[in-house]
Amino acid sequence: MAYTDDAVRAKLSALNETQESIVTVAQWVMFHRRHADRTAQLWMQRLKDSGANKRLNLVYLANEVAQQSKARRKDDFLLAFSPIIAEATATAYKGATHEVQQKLRRVVEVWRQRQIFELPIQEAVEARIDDLDKARSSGKKPLLGGSLFSGSPTPKEVQPLIPLQTSVLKATNASEPALSSANIEYEKLTDPATAVPTAPVHAARLSALVKLLANAEGAVTESIKARTALVEALEKLLRNNRQSLASEDAQLTEVTDRKATIEARKREVEDSIMRGLSGDYGNGSPAVDATPESLELPRDSASADPERPQIEELTPPPIESLTHISTPGANTIEPTITTTTGTDIIHEQTPNHTNPAPTVPTPPVPAGAGSDLLSSLSVPLGRPHAGSPITNGSSAKKRKIDEGEEFAGFGSGDAMDGLDDDVAEMLRKDSAGF
């Protein structure tokens, strides 16, 4: 079978997981080793378009071809696979089951042990696989906690674009090799420096070039169709977004106007409150007259402040209003009274000794009463010394009185003057017996 792109694709499509199939295809590929670069490109394209199990078979095929080339010291396929083997292995490894990934790791380990590829190429292959393992382990959801929506879903507006973009990629990958092969053959046949072969050979080459150009034309046509569909979907999405943008602009204008209106109304209400206005602003009714005369409340008898009640004074009356003490002197100076308890000072009025003493019935006088009275008169009045006891249950209030002014009338004369004769006689007897 002659070497063509279709022949290579047919061989790769018929490949299965059996060792016989892999060895048979590998021998055919190595027989056409002068097309190693083109075969490697078609192999890479087929690997990207295949499923996980089919990718493993293609990696097995590349492994067989590379090891046979290494054993025979033919570097054509080693040089052709070196630039793409790391990407191809990562593509086959990504998304594969755990069993398939373990088989791929075994193949990569064999490459290292037998030194199939150069050391930088081998390290690049292993680094790509390790990166995929790290990304998968970091992308796992934690057992406890974490968000259930760690992966952001694709928006529904963009979902129709995904298959179209996939179709474009597939069509582009198919058209590029076909177009490249057709251009190469065309340059060879149209090169003036190339000798013109015999007519039958030249016709055969032209016929082959026509097929290549037809394949390239069909591949490019499919790529154009796929890209046109993608552009139409993008234009539709763009139109929808432009309509939504215009609607949002109108909504923004409306909301801005409403905001300005409400802010102006708010300022009016605040100004009215500051001026003391009142009214039903919610219903839009005009404010009432807020002049000072209208705001003044009517003053009637009910609203006027009531008169204060008369309060009885709590100051007790002076002692002299209750007890009349006859003193010889008249028009004496009012004594100064101080207290020891911090209460209000009581100012006594000077008794008038010119008035006659009221007549009261004589109570029975116990024995020793006169002596007590004389004893009390003999003690000078004044503030007691600190620490002196207060006897006879007397009040804590003490009067500080000038002795010279208070008892000026007692300096001369009989102390019994002004008393009843019976009381004076009893006092004399008691003082004489004392």
Rounded CA separation 209/215 (Å): 10
Helical segments of 275-365, H only:
292-295, 319-322
Rounded CA separation 25/29 (Å): 6
Residue 143: exposure state from Cβ atoms within 10 A (0-12, 13-18, ≥19):
exposed
Rounded CA separation 159/157 (Å): 6
Residue among 406, 358, 357, 399 at smallest CA distance from 382: 399
DSSP letter string, 36-82: HHHHHHHHHHHHHHS-HHHHHHHHHHHHHHHHHHHHHT--HHHHHHT
**Residues 391, 375: contact at Cβ < 8 Å?**
no
pLDDT tens digits for the chain (434 residues)? 688 888 888 888 888 888 898 999 999 988 988 888 899 889 999 888 888 778 888 999 999 999 998 888 888 888 888 888 988 999 999 888 888 889 999 999 999 998 888 888 888 898 888 888 887 766 544 443 443 333 456 677 888 888 888 888 878 877 887 888 888 888 888 888 878 788 888 788 888 888 888 888 988 998 899 899 999 999 999 999 999 999 999 999 999 999 999 999 999 999 989 888 655 544 454 444 444 444 444 444 444 455 666 666 666 666 655 555 554 444 444 444 445 444 455 555 555 555 555 555 555 555 544 445 545 554 444 444 444 444 444 444 444 444 445 555 555 556 666 677 787 788 878 777 65
In 58-87, which positions are buried (b, 16+ CB within 10 angstroms) versus exposed (e)? bbbbbbbbbbbbbeeeeebbbebbbebbbe
**Residues 334, 350: contact at Cβ < 8 Å?**
yes
Rounded CA separation 275/270 (Å): 9
Residue identified by tokens 């499919």 is 222
